[in-house]
Amino acid sequence: MRQTGKLDYLELPAANGTIDTMKSFYARAFAWSFTDYGPDYAAFSEGLDGGFDGTSAEATTIPLPVLYSSDLEATEAAVVEAGGTIVRPIFAFPGGRRFHFTDPAGNELAVWSES
């Protein structure tokens, strides 16, 4: 159920025609599926609804989305195999461990686990 003031959607830029590359990356790394709304927008519903916006010529600064994994090493390997770039390898922080990566459009995300 949606609630006023609660995070409901996350939109990531897919500048310079990278929507197909983005969709391929997330499908391969995390088994996401998409609904296309024309050539410049692809929506996803993967725990949090969102979409890739291909209407801008350049990626903009965005908040860091954080994904969860029960097997951090396997997820890191899947990200690399799918074409992502690790920008901060697995490290410990209070409450768990995580790594940061960039996707094919240059968006930075993180993945965390409790152990």
pLDDT tens for each residue of 31-71: 999 999 988 899 999 988 888 888 766 655 566 899 999 99
pLDDT at 33: 96
Cβ-based neighbour number of residue 33 at 10 Å: 12
Q: pTM, whole model, 2 decimals?
A: 0.76
CATH number at residue 42: 3.10.180.10
Structural domain contains residue 96: yes
Q: What percent of the chain has pLDDT over 70?
A: 89
CB 80 within 8 A of CB 90: no
Domain that holds residue 67: 9-113
Q: Which residues contact 112 (CB under 8 A, 6 or more apart)?
A: 66, 67, 68, 69, 72, 93, 96, 97, 98
Q: For residue 2, is it within any domain? A: no
- Please report the pLDDT score of residue 5 as a whole number: 65
Q: Give domain status of residue 3, yes or no.
A: no
pLDDT, position 68: 93
20, 36 Cβ separation under 8 angstroms: no
